Chain A
Amino acid sequence: MKTILVVDDELGSAEVLSLILEEEGYRAFCAVNGQLALIQAREVVPDLVIVDYMMPLMNGAEFSRELRRDPQFSHTKIILNSGLPEVAIRDHFDNYDAFLRKPFKVETLLELVERFVGR
């Protein structure tokens, strides 16, 4: 079973997504900022992280950079998402596998998830 970590500071966003992912047969965890997500990631070593960009304490770019630096996550795919357009983010961080502009449809996300980690 593939492991996915959903990181979002907004109430409900991460929880709702992780529930849907569980229904789809994935093992899902969630965190509300980059700092907590890093601790969680080291415990569960996810195959995929779905991470929001703007968050308190540690944002999605800072979290993803930390992830990319750590060899134990060399196989981990990153889907970055934000209410901002991709162009506003790429100058600050572009080492992600996919970008999703919020709000997105769950089918769009699930297609991406399947493409990256299978079912």
Chain B
Amino acid sequence: MTSSTTDVGPIERLRSSVPGLDQILGGGLFRTGVYIIQGLPGCGKTILANQICYGHVAEGGSAVYVTLLAESHSRMIQHLSTLSFFDVKAFPDRLAYISAFHELESAGLKGLMTVLRREMRTRKVGVLVLDGLVAASEGASDLDLKKFIHELQSIAVLQDCTVLLLTSGNIHRMAAEHTMVDGLIEVEDTLFDARSERSIHVRKFRGAGPLRGKHSLRIDNDGITVFPRIESLYRGAMQETAGTAAATTGIASLDRLLAIGGVPEASSTVVIGSTGTGKTTMGLQFLHASSADEPGLHLSFFEGPERLRTKARSLGRDLAPLEANGAVELMWQSPGEALLDEIADRLLSAVARRQVRRLVIDGLSGFLESAVYQERITRFFSCLVNELRSRHVTVLMTLETRDVLSSVVSMPWGVSGLVDNLFFLRFVHDEGEVERLLTIIKMRDTDYQAGLRRLRIDSQGMHIAGTYRADGDVIPSAQPVASSEGPAPSPSN
């Protein structure tokens, strides 16, 4: 009598080659799992399934894409051939598109199963896609469909094949097949006013805890990229501000107003003020204090790198040598229809790549405007700031207020509570002159000299030029007022 025993370990994962997907699945789809990918036509499920197939082929595996009543193979190949992952060399040995509609029509689910079983066996495929589960389920009873999926699961295990079932079925309907499969992934394209945003949501995933909720998804020439929602990605413990070591603001006379000679390292500072008050200037001086040991990064939503270089030069601060030796990187982000989590991903990747220690985010409103769910903003920034703190990055962010010459300023919802330090820049009229003033509103855990300071900007840069003593008719309020009534910035009193 012979017997064969093998150690049974955890089920292996299938690396998907869809950036971000394995991250939200906690490591990837399980090999031999049967998954439903569901979404309305045009949401991107065909590209998602194809990208998984081509990724598996690129890793040396093989895949088969079986259609029922879907777009024609030649049309699908035409569309896919414009994407970077398309590889014509994969055909026909490692990837094939076949239709099983005839077998379904003539012999029902049994006929379809015969084709699938045969394809898995003869081609030894690691990934099988069945596109058109709706067509397969038409006319079949719930029990038939459950038996079909159960049989598919048995074959998938025996053949070491991961199966993806694509369907445009109703997302919100509780379907019989949903109870049977190992996972249910929804892809959506939602309209927000004139703008639309794609998302992916893992509704069910046996055997692991995926990152819950909806995550943004982009389709471009490289196919699909998933951007995990940073609130779900970085949900670790709150990072306390590290120590009391100081990071210079890049403005010596400002450092002198701060008890430790700068802002605390790994703290976050918001510079708030109306247009022209010197926020970008302050950011550039902070950036210019970067070095090879303390690399700096500048993320700008509005002014491009060339304008920033020119501006820095006019302040007596040439960025060229710092850029040349890698101490400084200027990163421009189009304020167009970027995804909030995509920008965060780009930012955090750039921080990790160069081990950035000093970060300027010039134009926080660029982030605010990228959010389709405004109620996310507070949680989003809280996680972003916390993550940057845990990476020992000292952050200076600028935020523009609407009112140029107002004495009362409203803060975007929740921002003041998220940051450690808050500087307020403004213009005042004084005997026919317009002056810039700086007020340190808040420094977390360190002392500072309060009061109104004159701010001068010249060819030597920005510096504090003494204390401003108002006569009472210029600045009725020296404090920004937090707007607490909702996400949209609005004047309050």
On A, residues with C-beta under 8 Å from B are 9-11, 13, 32-33, 53-57, 59, 61, 82-85, 87-89, 92, 102-103
**Residue pair A11, B99 in contact (C-beta under 8 Å):** yes
Q: Is B182 an interface residue (CB 8 A)?
A: no
Residues of A within 8 A of B11 (CB): none
Measured between beta carbons, the chain B residues less than 8 angstroms from A54 are 73, 91-92, 96-98
A82 touches B74 (CB 8 A): yes
0/1 per residue, B93-107, Cβ < 8 Å to A?
100111111110000
23 contacts between A and B (CB under 8 A): A9-B100, A10-B67, A10-B72, A10-B73, A10-B99, A11-B99, A13-B72, A32-B99, A32-B102, A54-B96, A56-B66, A56-B98, A56-B115, A56-B119, A57-B115, A83-B72, A83-B74, A83-B76, A84-B92, A85-B88, A88-B88, A88-B92, A102-B74
**Nearest-Cβ distance from residue B104 to partner chain A, whole angstroms:** 10
What are the residues of chain B within 8 A of A83 when measuring CB–CB?
A: 72-78, 97
* Interface set, chain B 88-134, CB cutoff 8 A to A: 88-89, 91-93, 96-103, 115, 118-119
**8 tightest CB-CB pairs across the interface, nearest first?**
A83-B74, A102-B74, A32-B102, A83-B77, A9-B99, A56-B98, A88-B88, A10-B99
Q: Could you list which residues of chain B lie within 8 angstroms of chain A, going by C-beta atoms?
A: 66-67, 69, 72-78, 88-89, 91-93, 96-103, 115, 118-119
A53-B118 Cα distance, complex, nearest whole Å: 18
Supplied contacts A55-B98, A56-B103, A88-B89, 18 more A-B pairs, CB within 8 Å: A9-B100, A10-B101, A11-B99, A32-B102, A54-B73, A54-B92, A54-B98, A56-B99, A56-B118, A57-B115, A59-B92, A61-B92, A83-B73, A84-B77, A84-B88, A92-B92, A102-B72, A103-B72
**Which residue on chain A has the smallest CB distance to residue B69?**
A11
When C-beta atoms are compared, the residue in chain A nearest to B98 turns out to be A56
Contact B92 A53, beta carbon cutoff 8 Å? yes
Known contacts A10-B72, A83-B78: A56-B88 contact under CB 8 Å: no
On whether the beta carbons of B118 and A84 are closer than 8 Å, the reply is no
Distance of A89 Cα from B77 Cα, bound (Å): 14
A13 to B118, CA, bound (A): 23
* Chain A residues touching B, majority SS: loop
A-side contacts of B100, CB under 8 Å: 9, 56
Bound complex: CA of A59 vs CA of B92, how far in Å?
10
B-chain residues with CB within 8 Å of residue A59 when the two chains form the complex: 92, 96
Output the nearest chain B residue to A87 by Cβ-Cβ distance.
B88
A107 to B254, CA, bound (A): 79
- CB nearest neighbor in B for A31: B102
Query: Which chain B residues lie closer than 8 Å to A33 at the CB level?
Result: 102
Q: Which residues of B contact A82 (CB under 8 A)?
A: 74
Q: Which residues of the other chain, B, contact A10 by a CB distance below 8 angstroms?
A: 67, 72-73, 99, 101
Q: How far, in whole Å, are A69 and B69 apart by their CA atoms in the complex?
A: 34
Set of chain A residues within 8 Å of B92, measured between Cβ atoms: 53-54, 59, 61, 84, 88-89, 92
Q: How far is the CA of A11 from the CA of B102 in the complex (A)?
A: 7
Least CB distance, A9 to chain B, in whole angstroms: 4
Cα(A102)–Cα(B88), bound, Å: 15
* A residues near B66, Cβ cutoff 8 Å: 56
B115's nearest neighbour on chain A, judged by CB, is: A56
Cα(A84)–Cα(B115), bound, Å: 22
Q: How distant is the Cα of A11 from the Cα of B135 in the complex, in angstroms?
A: 13
Residues of A within 8 A of B99 (CB): 9-11, 32, 55-56
Bound Cα distance from A85 to B74, whole angstroms: 10
- Decide yes or no: A103 and B74 within 8 Å by CB, A11-B102, A54-B91 being known contacts: yes
Q: In the complex, which residue of chain A has the Cβ closest to the Cβ of B116?
A: A56
Across the interface, which residues of A come within 8 angstroms of B93, CB to CB?
A: 92
CB distance from A29 to the nearest CB of B (A): 15
Tell me which residues across on chain A come within 8 A of B69, comparing CB atoms.
11
B103: chain A residues within 8 A (beta carbon): 56
For the complex formed, measure the closest distance between the CB of A41 and the CB atoms of chain B, giving whole angstroms.
Answer: 17
Contact of B98 among A9, A84, A88 (CB under 8 A): A9
CB pair B75 A103 closer than 8 Å: yes
Residues of A within 8 A of B75 (CB): 83, 103
Chain B residue nearest to A13 in the complex (CB): B72
A77 to B420, CA, bound (A): 79
Q: Which of the residues B73, B91, B115, B118 comes within 8 Å of A88, measured between beta carbons?
A: B91
B69, B99, B115 interface centre (most CB from chain A within 10 Å): B99
Q: Which residues of B contact A13 (CB under 8 A)?
A: 72
Which B residues are in CB contact (< 8 Å) with A102? 72-74
- Determine the residue in chain B with the shortest Cβ distance to A103: B74
Task: Please indicate the chain B residues that have their CB under 8 angstroms from the CB of A56 in the complex.
Answer: 66, 98-100, 103, 115, 118-119
Most buried by A among B67, B73, B78: B73
Q: How far in angstroms is the closest Cβ of chain B from A2?
A: 26
Q: How far is the CB of B64 from chain A (nearest CB, A)?
A: 9
For A88, list chain B residues within 8 Å (CB): 88-89, 91-92
Measured CB to CB, the closest approach of chain A to B133, in angstroms, equals 16
CB distance from B87 to the nearest CB of A (A): 10
Q: How far is the CA of A87 from the CA of B87 in the complex (A)?
A: 12
**B91: A residues at CB distance < 8 A:** 54, 84, 88-89
Report Cα–Cα, A54/B94, bound state, in Å. Answer: 12
Is the Cβ of A9 less than 8 Å from the Cβ of B102? Answer: yes
Task: State in angstroms the CA–CA spacing of A25 and B66 once bound together.
Answer: 34
- Bound-state CA distance A61–B101 (Å) is 21
* Separation of A61 and B96 alpha carbons in the complex (Å): 13
